[in-house]
């Protein structure tokens, strides 16, 4: 199998790892560094904002990663130059992943202890920053977690949301290097989902993967079945992303419970496709899944396409899959009672934040002008970042090793 389809192989085995950079996260240096570190650590998918500049930053990191494959192997990382899927996230309505915090810093009393600044996991809130020459919310860093809102003593922080537009979707889906699309939806928005899907569907056959992200709600399973009726049949693999407790994985071990419970609920419905956790996932998630018997504990056959059947089309369909990326029907119509993988967002980003902060500080200290020092240009920080990323990626990857 070509390296192009290694991510699909991971889905089938049940050791899929996705990095969520953030659907509204537009800090280009951080996106580039996160993509590079987690790719070298063995990630299967990089999920980024549907923004051409963000996509380009991630693509640049993927190219750099290929040049570092041999060095990564020498250092004990299992990266062989395989490209993870590059995914963009879209929404069919209001969604916390597609918002940013805002406030007017001139309204902040001088005596305010500024709890918003301390609680922000993205370090997007600054006051009188010499480096940024700015006070307020650094929009490109904010990914909409909303933790600053309830802690503001003066109730002056609010959020602004943005919607996907059909005119922007087509070129993103068709652009080089975008392999997958994730649609964020919620119960009760079937008409809005259908409108968005109609904008995507002319190019759906070019996708290797479609993911549907949905939080829990009354009638969720019936809603997901209705969604499937709209998108079927698919030539790509399909993931149901169970968004347990959005953007909370860095808070503590308890957040992973919501993600696991929602995963169980969707697994029980036996929907066609794979089930992948998100929302509250962190270093405790894989251990929890193992303890509950929700992960495969053995390596499945990689190409389980029933080629021994007396079907003259079988060999043709397999060859089409290997060369063109069109998996046979039974590849994406998986109904196993196991979780296929885990996506990590806020926890994965915060894990690397000390490294990224050091990189930013080096930029300023070198010239007093931000020179966009790249992670691969600092050998020490690069491999420290990959080691940290690998500590998370290896949790689900190692459970498949004999």
pLDDT in tens, 365-388: 444 455 568 999 999 999 999 999
Mark residue 376 as left, alpha or beta (left: phi above 0; alpha: psi -120 to 50; beta: remaining). Answer: alpha
CA separation for the pair 318, 315 (Å, rounded) = 5
Provide CB contacts within 8 A for 279, sequence distance 6+: 215, 242, 243, 244, 245, 246, 247, 248, 249, 258, 259, 262, 345
Q: Is residue 106 classed as helix, strand or coil in its secondary structure?
A: helix
pLDDT in tens, 235-276: 999 999 999 887 687 788 888 999 999 999 999 999 999 999
Does residue 34 or residue 83 have the better pLDDT?
A: 34
Assess contact for 324 and 207: CB atoms under 8 A.
no
Residues belonging to the chain = 402
What is the chain's mean pLDDT, rounded? 84
Q: Cα(48)–Cα(31) distance, rounded to whole angstroms?
A: 8
Helix (H) or strand (E) run with residue 394 in it: helix 379-397
pLDDT: which is higher, 331 or 127 = 127
CA–CA dist 78, 386 (Å, integer): 11
Q: Are 205 and 241 in contact (CB under 8 A)?
A: no
Cβ distance 156 to 186 under 8 Å? Answer: no
pLDDT in tens, 50-64: 988 999 999 999 999
What is the pLDDT averaged over residues 202-226?
94
Mind spelling out the 3-state secondary structure of 253-278?
Answer: CCHHHHHHHHHHHHHHHCCCCEEEEE
Helices and strands (H and E) in the chain: how many: 15, 12
pLDDT, residue 399, reads 58
Decide if pLDDT at 400 tops 90: no
| 346-367 vs 379-397: helix crossing angle, rounded to 10 | 180
Give the range among 112-121, 227-236, 241-250, 293-302 with minimum mean pLDDT. Answer: 293-302
pLDDT of residue 312: 37
The answer to whether residue 310 scores a pLDDT higher than 50 is: no
Structure tokens at 366: 């070198």
Question: What's this model's pTM, rounded to 2 decimal places?
Answer: 0.85
Q: Using alpha carbons only, what angle is made at residue 318 by residues 313 and 321, rounded to the nearest 5 degrees?
A: 125
Exposure string for 140-178, b = 16+ CB within 10 A, e = fewer: bbbbbbbbbeeebeeebbebeebebeeeebeebbeeeeb
Look-up of token digits 């600053």: 148
Cα dihedral across residues 182, 185, 187, 188: positive or negative: negative
**258-266: long-range pairs with CB below 8 Å, 24+:** 259/285, 260/285, 260/288, 260/289, 260/292, 260/294, 262/215, 262/216, 263/294, 263/339, 264/292, 264/294, 265/216, 265/220, 265/221, 266/221, 266/224, 266/240, 266/242
* Range scoring the smallest mean pLDDT among 70-84, 118-132, 164-178: 164-178
Residue 300: CB atoms within 10 Å: 14
What is the DSSP pairing of strand 134-137 with strand 125-129?
Answer: antiparallel
% of residues, the chain, pLDDT over 70 = 83
Angle between helices 166-174 and 190-200 in degrees, nearest 10: 50
Please tell me the predicted confidence (pLDDT) of residue 167. Answer: 66
Contact 102, 146 (CB under 8 A): no
| pLDDT class of 318 with cuts at 50, 70, 90 | very low
In this model, does residue 323 exceed pLDDT 60? no
> What confidence category does residue 359 fall into, taking pLDDT thresholds of 50, 70 and 90?
very high
Q: What are the φ/ψ torsions at residue 234 (nearest 5 degrees)? A: -115, 145
Identify the pLDDT of residue 237: 96
Using 50, 70 and 90 to split pLDDT, how confident is the model at 131?
Answer: low
């Amino acid at each position: 199998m070509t390296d192009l389809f290694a991510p699909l192989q991971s889905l089938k085995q049940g050791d899929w790892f996705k990095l969520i950079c953030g659907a509204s996260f537009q800090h280009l240096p951080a996106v580039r560094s996160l993509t590079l570190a987690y790719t070298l650590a063995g990630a299967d998918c990089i999920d980024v904002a549907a923004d051409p500049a963000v996509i380009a930053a991630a693509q640049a990191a993927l190219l750099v990663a290929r040049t570092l494959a041999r060095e990564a192997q020498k250092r004990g990382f299992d990266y062989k130059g395989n490209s993870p899927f590059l995914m963009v996230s879209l929404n069919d309505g209001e969604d916390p992943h597609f918002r940013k915090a805002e406030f007017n810093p001139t309204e902040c009393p001088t005596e305010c202890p500024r709890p918003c600044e301390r609680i922000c996991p993205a370090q997007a809130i600054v006051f009188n920053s010499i480096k940024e020459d700015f006070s307020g919310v650094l929009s490109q860093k904010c990914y909409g977690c909303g933790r600053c809102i309830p802690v503001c003593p003066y109730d002056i922080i609010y959020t602004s949301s943005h919607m996907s537009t059909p005119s922007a979707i087509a070129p993103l889906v068709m652009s080089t290097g975008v392999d997958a699309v994730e649609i964020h939806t919620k119960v009760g928005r079937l008409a809005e989902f259908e409108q968005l899907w109609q904008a995507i569907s002319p190019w759906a056959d070019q996708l290797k993967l479609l993911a549907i992200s949905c939080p829990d709600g009354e009638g969720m399973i019936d809603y997901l079945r209705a969604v499937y009726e709209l998108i079927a049949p698919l030539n790509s693999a399909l993931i149901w992303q169970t968004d347990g407790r959005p953007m909370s994985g860095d808070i503590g071990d308890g957040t992973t419970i919501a993600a696991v419970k929602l995963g169980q609920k969707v697994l029980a419905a036996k929907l066609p496709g794979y089930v992948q956790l998100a929302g509250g996932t962190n270093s405790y998630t894989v251990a929890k899944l193992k303890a509950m018997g929700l992960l495969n504990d053995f390596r499945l056959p990689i190409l389980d396409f029933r080629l021994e059947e007396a079907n003259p089309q079988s060999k043709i369909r397999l060859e089409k899959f290997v060369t063109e990326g069109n998996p046979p029907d039974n590849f994406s119509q998986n109904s196993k009672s196991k979780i296929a993988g885990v996506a990590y967002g806020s926890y994965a980003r915060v894990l690397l934040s000390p490294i990224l902060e050091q990189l930013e500080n080096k930029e300023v200290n070198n010239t007093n002008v931000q020179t966009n020092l790249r992670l691969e240009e600092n050998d020490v920080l690069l491999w420290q970042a990959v080691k940290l990323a690998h500590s998370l990626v290896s949790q689900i990857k190692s459970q498949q090793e004999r």
